[in-house]
Amino acid sequence: MRDWLAYLENEGKIKTVSKEISLKFEMPAVIKKLDGKAAVKFKKPKGYNIPVVSGIAYDRDLFAKALGTTKNNVARKISECQKQPIPCQVVTREEAPVMKNINIDDVNLMTLPIPIHHEKDAGHYITAGLLICKDPETGKRNVSIHRLQVFSKNEIGILILPRHLSQLYMKAEKKNEPLDIAIAIGVDPVLLLASQAIVPLGVDELEIANAIKNGGQKLVKCQTVDVEVPAEAEIVLEGKLLPKVRKVEGPFGEFPKYYGPASEKPVIKITAICHRDEPIYHTILPATKEHLLLGGLAREATLYELVKQTVPTVKDVHLTIGGTCRYHAVISIDKKHEGEAKNAMFAAFASMQEVKHVVVVDSDVDIFDIEEVEWAIATRCQMAKDIMLVSGSLGSKLDPSTNDGISDKMGIDATCPLNAPPEKYETIKIPGYEELNIEDYLD
Ligand code: FMN
């Protein structure tokens, strides 16, 4: 993360707050004011001597930069690297900056500047930790991000939705054994993004990050658990996900800007805290662009791949910020046959449970420009025939308008009919406009 912060500083993309600031609401309020405009570093969280950063990748351009590609190629780049993971190098404890300071005997989470983000949050939440563990049967690594409520100086509550971690936890729980885990805080945007990859169980997201980086991702073994973590992380919490223990976690302000409710959740016992010299803590404020894009860009990569299997002429996919980077998909296609738009909708709904509304447009529309998408809807569809509605499908449980996740889905075909006379949809043009440099004309 340090190299990335240095880049942000060089580019003038990070603001600094030197005055003392409370972790409870005050820091999150500043982060929210700067959302989408700048990253921020808080030098003096009140009561702590560890600085906090947030919004370290706050727009699509920054993620593209971190991935070493362009804004419109993010999905394809992630999808390529997902297919070709590269094993990471494991270095010694002496070579790993994060193992410079190891605390096993007197573990105390209260020494970390962990904010309280929203009004009704149940407490202090760690929001930017990569949770790394291994499949108890195969030994393959898995990486994911989870909301983590600090219960005490060495206990954390965790929300585990039914994906890979839940499968690994169930395997351990069946044997009444704890699952060794580690939580890496303060990592670069590529590692954060790779953790969100939607890949089959057994594909190691750290190896996807290594592929994106063209190698060079170093790992180090933990001290108290059988897990490897990024050697250059700022902070690593080591711990055990306990079998058959549940405690009330939540409520917590979630990505759709509503609260996720309180309920009984699994518990992690922290066994060690390791950190670099002068560590920096990273927090993600829920529902900010940093949060939405992290999940959204990885989902776009998978959506692109899966829609392409059904509609090979797909050009781009976009999960919009307004649709929480989950619920609204825009897909552009080079339509060759009538009906392809509807097939693209079916493919999108089938490939990603959270996708609720899909708009399909022609490839002349820039799907990253919402004004252009709206224009296509306004001028290229007639809703009685171009809309598709499905009821009673499985959607997102965090969408409050669903019935415990049971959701309607809607698709809009905003493509031009292939048999329309060409002049009907011919867009207006001014010859010479593209080449004209406005500065040559202004006083
Ligand atoms: N997934 C959860 O199950 N619980 C969470 O609390 C949770 N919080 C997240 C917070 C952030 C900031 C982000 C970016 C994602 C979060 N996710 C959460 C999504 C998972 O990290 C993501 O779906 C991941 O790919 C799951 O990996 P897995 O299938 O390997 O378990």
Return the residue matching tokens 């149940």.
Answer: 122
Q: State whether 198 and 307 are in the same domain.
A: no
Long-range contacts of 148-152 (CB under 8 A, 24+ apart): 148/183, 148/268, 149/122, 149/123, 149/124, 149/125, 149/249, 149/250, 149/252, 150/109, 150/110, 150/114, 150/123, 150/124, 150/125, 150/126, 151/123, 151/247, 151/267, 152/109
Which CATH number fits the domain that encloses residue 255?
2.30.110.10
User: What value does the mean pLDDT take over residues 46-70?
Assistant: 96
Distance CA 186, CA 362 (A): 41
Q: State whether 305 and 341 are in the same domain.
A: yes
Domain assignment present for residue 52? The answer is no
Return the residue matching tokens 């404890």.
Answer: 93
Domain assignment present for residue 392? The answer is yes
User: What value does the mean pLDDT take over residues 381-404?
Assistant: 95
Predicted pLDDT at 72: 85
User: What value does the mean pLDDT take over residues 3-9?
Assistant: 98
User: What value does the mean pLDDT take over residues 38-43?
Assistant: 98
- C-alpha of residue 396 to centroid of ligand 1, in Å: 13
Predicted pLDDT at 71: 87
- C-alpha of residue 324 to centroid of ligand 1, in Å: 14
CA-nearest residue, atom 31 of ligand 1: 164
Domain assignment present for residue 4? The answer is no
Portion of the chain with pLDDT greater than 90, in percent: 98
**pLDDT bucket at 173, cuts 50 / 70 / 90:** very high
Distance CA 370, CA 321 (A): 10
Q: State whether 112 and 167 are in the same domain.
A: yes
- Of 163, 183, 302, 353, the one to substitute when testing ligand 1's pocket (max ligand atoms within 8 A of C-beta) is 163
- Of 121, 148, 161, the one to substitute when testing ligand 1's pocket (max ligand atoms within 8 A of C-beta) is 161
- pLDDT tens, residue by residue, 346-389: 999 999 999 999 999 999 999 999 999 999 999 999 999 999 99
Domain assignment present for residue 316? The answer is yes
Q: State whether 310 and 205 are in the same domain.
A: no
User: What value does the mean pLDDT take over residues 298-310?
Assistant: 94
Q: State whether 208 and 329 are in the same domain.
A: no
Predicted pLDDT at 331: 98
Predicted pLDDT at 211: 97
pLDDT at 302 over 90: yes
Domain boundary among 256, 279, 302: 279
Region class of 204: left (phi > 0), else alpha (psi between -120 and 50), else beta = beta
Which CATH number fits the domain that encloses residue 330?
3.40.1670.10
Domain assignment present for residue 345? The answer is yes
CA-nearest residue, atom 7 of ligand 1: 146
Domain assignment present for residue 34? The answer is no
Domain boundary among 245, 279, 313: 279
pLDDT at 100 over 90: yes
Please state, rounded to an integer, the average pLDDT across all residues of the chain: 97
Q: State whether 91 and 233 are in the same domain.
A: yes
CA-nearest residue, atom 11 of ligand 1: 145
Domain assignment present for residue 146? The answer is yes
Q: State whether 401 and 314 are in the same domain.
A: yes
Q: How many distinct structural domains can be found in the chain?
A: 2
- C-alpha of residue 282 to centroid of ligand 1, in Å: 16
CA-nearest residue, atom 28 of ligand 1: 164
- C-alpha of residue 196 to centroid of ligand 1, in Å: 7
pLDDT at 127 over 90: yes
- Residue 172: closest CA among 197, 144, 139: 139
pLDDT at 441 over 90: yes
Token pair recorded at residue 281: 């803590």
User: What value does the mean pLDDT take over residues 181-186?
Assistant: 98
pLDDT at 88 over 90: yes
User: What value does the mean pLDDT take over residues 295-324?
Assistant: 95
- pLDDT tens, residue by residue, 160-170: 999 999 999 99
SS3 for the chain is: CHHHHHHHHHCCCEEEECCCECCECHHHHHHHHCCCCCEEEECCECCCCCCEEECCCCCHHHHHHHHCCCHHHHHHHHHHHHHCCCCCEEECHHHCHHHCEEECCCCCHHHCCCCECCCCCCCCEECCEEEEEECCCCCCEEEEECCEEEEECCEEEECCCCCHHHHHHHHHHHCCCCEEEEEEECCCHHHHHHCCCCCCCCCCHHHHHHHHCCCCCEEEECCCCCCEEECCCCEEEEEEEEEEEEEEECCEECCCCCEECCEEEEEEEEEEEEECCCCCEECCCCCCHHHHHHHHHHHHHHHHHHHHHHCCCEEEEEECCCCCCCCEEEEEECCCCCCHHHHHHHHHHHHCCCCCEEEEEECCCCCCCHHHHHHHHHHHCCHHHHEEEEEEEECCCCCCCCECCEEEEEEEEECCCCCCCHHHHCCCCCCCCCCCCHHHCCC
Predicted pLDDT at 248: 98
User: What value does the mean pLDDT take over residues 400-412?
Assistant: 96
pLDDT at 19 over 90: yes
Region class of 131: left (phi > 0), else alpha (psi between -120 and 50), else beta = beta
- Residue 130: closest CA among 1, 279, 236, 277: 236
Q: State whether 206 and 353 are in the same domain.
A: no
- pLDDT tens, residue by residue, 197-222: 999 999 999 999 999 999 999 999 99
Q: How many CB atoms lie within 10 A of CB 341?
A: 25
Domain enclosing residue 104, as ranges: 87-279
- C-alpha of residue 439 to centroid of ligand 1, in Å: 47
Domain boundary among 279, 299, 333: 279
Portion of the chain with pLDDT greater than 70, in percent: 100
CA-nearest residue, atom 5 of ligand 1: 146
Q: State whether 172 and 260 are in the same domain.
A: yes
Q: State whether 306 and 180 are in the same domain.
A: no
User: What value does the mean pLDDT take over residues 78-97?
Assistant: 96
Residue ranges lining ligand 1, Cβ < 6 Å = 127, 142, 144-147, 159-161, 163-165, 196, 284, 291, 294-295
C-alpha pair distances (Å), 361 with each of 77, 213, 311: 22, 33, 13
- C-alpha of residue 353 to centroid of ligand 1, in Å: 14
Q: State whether 265 and 375 are in the same domain.
A: no
Q: State whether 251 and 187 are in the same domain.
A: yes
Domain assignment present for residue 429? The answer is no
